[in-house]
Structure 1
Amino acid sequence: MPFYQSPQDISAFDAKFEAQKIAFAPISFQVARCLLKFGILEQIDASGKSGCLLEDIQQSTQLSEYAVSVLLDMGLSMRLVWQSDTHYRLDKIGYFLLHDDMAKVNLNFVHDVCYQGVYELEASLVEGKPKGLKVFGDWETIYPSLSELPEQVKQSWFEFDHYYSDHAFGPLLPLIFKNQPKHIVDVGGNTGKWALACTGYDSEVNITIMDLPGQLAVALKNAEDKGVANRVKGFECNLLNESQAFCREGDLYWMSQFLDCFSKPQILSILKRTAQSMTMASELCILETYWDRQPFEAGAYCVNATSIYFTAMANGDSRMYHSKDMLSLISQAGLYVDEDIDDIGLGHTLLRCKLKPS
């Protein structure tokens, strides 16, 4: 990508300032969160051109003059707000922090899911295990225990996961159903959101969700609540158990934001077992956000930052991949990419795969 192919065109003075921002980044993050949490940015935004006095903010938040002033002073340095005389007004960065859905979802995910645990990033890198996960429980990985996470943590995790996948649903459904599959195997179906979207799009399709027992229970309950339990079935499966065969007889196998949850050897194993379950008429559709396929630098930044969540919190050995890594694994599994589509939803790529002819 262009923004990674040459050194950044920035003065030494500005580069030094950026280095200081990194040094104080955890403090900046918490200040921004508190300015949102206490409704300070919202109040300043509502004041419009007239601006907002510190005394007004203090009165509405019931915080001390000290508390409000230290937050606002740092907010000035972060360019979240600006000040004219004694009145505070919202700056552009503060505006997007307040109004941009992606920023809200990312901030809540980082604070509720990642913040405490990322302190253990160094140990996670050395040991190859998600050492930060211990802040929530004594688990090897986060996946079997998603339903046991504290309620706020679980909410932020699913909002983050669904925010990125949901934006892709609209353009994806016509692509997935262009060959009119009658049986879709949703590998790692999570809460069943994709399965329900499929049953809503096509009244004939049947879905089998392959996942761990905890996730399946949630997905099947959601299918029952939507009145499609007769078309959504469960296939209990530990996807990391290499001796466990996958569901057969699928016209289309579906993996959405799924393979990034595994290491390269695990991905290869999953793809090989998927290939063994497919026929020459079957296809495998893989939806992922690859950092090298992002149309904007901000997208690549978010995707690469998400890799650190996998390192410290999720499993210690997976990440958001470069597309070339995934293409290589697909080929090693005996599959080939029949169709490659970028820029779906929020920087997603769809790889439509088929069995290599013998």
Structure 2
Amino acid sequence: MKHYQCEQYNALDAIGQAQRIAFAPMLFQASWCLRETGVLAYLESRGKAGATTAEIARHCELSEYAVSVLLDMGLGGGVCHLAGEQYVLGKVGKYLQNDPMTRVNMDFTQHVCYQPLAHLLGAIREGKPEGLKVFNPDWETIYPHLDKLPEPARASWFAFDHFYSDWAFQQAQDHVLSYEPRSLYDVGGNTGKWAISCATRDPALQVTILDLPEQIALAQPRIDAAGLTERVHGHGVNMLEADGHLPGEADIWWMSQFLDCFSHEQIVAILKRIRRHMKPGARVCILELFWDRQSFEAASFSLNATSLYFTAIANGDSRFYHSKQMYQCLREAGFHVEAEHEIPGPGHTLLVAQPLPTRP
């Protein structure tokens, strides 16, 4: 947060940064092409010796012109540097080539976000995911249609989602299962990975996935393949339908990167609905990425960038929140946070909440 609470640039640096922003799409696409054409991999194999334009062009089956325009753009992004006539892969280039998080982020940006973000201004003005029409003009939100996304957008979406949620699962699971729940509801269970993991780890646990029917159908083959049909169930439900029926036997209502898919008002409504159906002693466990709780500025930057995916593509009015806003949602819905756990890695926070006592 301190990084964002003061002016970061003098006048000269500021105008330079402004140009980097103005031409940022060019740097992204050049970096993408350098990775996809094998230029980064070849330069990595050459080590500190580097390679000339001609050598790279010959190895990667590109023209020298193509190699030169891509790598000269890469110079400005720190992807590579020059040693005489040789291009040498820089540290940034090594991360672009090898770092799993960076690769997942780039694939998500390229395949899911890049073209739709051209409609961001319309989404901001209309409060609707105007960029979603790139995939289908009839879709209102992305969530019921995730399995219908064209490849490679579909694969990149699920890889992005699972990369960040899966990283925190083990540690979050330690906290959640320490409450010794006999019944757990996985709200917004997506493909069922959390539900299956919990049921596998605790053979006495019953898990119910509460999600859209389309998502339940997506999770069912995984549940069947894991041999957990008797203990992991699906309950098709739209959590935004305030009057719809919910089961109420869970000891734990689990939500992983679920509430960031909704607006402030919708989050409060969902939490109020859950509160009405909770049995005494039950808890809500919320695993989220908050942009103000990150250890590194790059992580806060990435979360705020991903919020624009929600704006332009997902639903038009959700985001990765500041932790204070989530606390406010919980208070408005009648909950108090009894515990919070910071989970290392991408920077998740686990909030454990219970309903406030009802006033007489």
Q: TM-score with structure 1 length normalisation?
A: 0.98
**CA distance in 2: counterparts of 1:148 and 1:50, whole angstroms:** 46
Tell me whether 98-107 or 111-120 shows the greater mean CA deviation.
98-107
Q: How many residues are aligned here?
A: 357
CA contact (8 A) 1:189 1:209 kept: yes
CA contact (8 A) 1:186 1:208 kept: yes
1:332 Cα deviation from its structure 2 partner: 1.3
Amino acid paired to 1:83: L
TM-align CA RMSD: 1.0
**CA distance in 2: counterparts of 1:183 and 1:242, whole angstroms:** 23
Alpha-carbon displacement from aligned partner over 1:42-100 (angstroms, at most 9, x marks no partner)? 10011112212222211122111211111111112222111112211111111111122
Alpha-carbon displacement from aligned partner over 1:97-125 (angstroms, at most 9, x marks no partner)? 11221111111101100000000000000
CA contact (8 A) 2:171 2:343 kept: no
Pairing 1:204-353 to 2, within 5 Å after superposition: 204-353=204-353
CA contact (8 A) 1:280 1:354 kept: no
Pairing 1:1-358 to 2, within 5 Å after superposition: 1-8=1-8, 10-137=9-136, 138-358=138-358
Tell me whether 243-252 or 104-113 shows the greater mean CA deviation.
243-252
Return 5+ residue gaps in structure 2 as ranges. none
Alpha-carbon displacement from aligned partner over 1:272-303 (angstroms, at most 9, x marks no partner)? 01111112210000010011111111111011
Amino acid paired to 2:178: K
**CA distance in 2: counterparts of 1:344 and 1:224, whole angstroms:** 32
SS at match of 2:152: helix
CA contact (8 A) 2:246 2:277 kept: yes
Amino acid paired to 2:240: L
Alpha-carbon displacement from aligned partner over 1:312-334 (angstroms, at most 9, x marks no partner)? 00000111111111111111111
CA contact (8 A) 1:191 1:216 kept: yes
Amino acid paired to 2:162: H
CA contact (8 A) 2:168 2:343 kept: no
SS at match of 2:351: strand
Amino acid paired to 1:240: L
SS at match of 1:47: helix
1:28 Cα deviation from its structure 2 partner: 0.7
Return 5+ residue gaps in structure 1 as ranges. none
Amino acid paired to 1:72: L
SS at match of 1:151: coil
Amino acid paired to 1:154: R
**CA distance in 2: counterparts of 1:120 and 1:96, whole angstroms:** 30
Alpha-carbon displacement from aligned partner over 1:143-194 (angstroms, at most 9, x marks no partner)? 0111110021010001110000111012111101001101100000000011
**CA distance in 2: counterparts of 1:280 and 1:213, whole angstroms:** 28
1:11 Cα deviation from its structure 2 partner: 2.8
Tell me whether 341-350 or 315-324 shows the greater mean CA deviation.
341-350
**CA distance in 2: counterparts of 1:70 and 1:148, whole angstroms:** 36
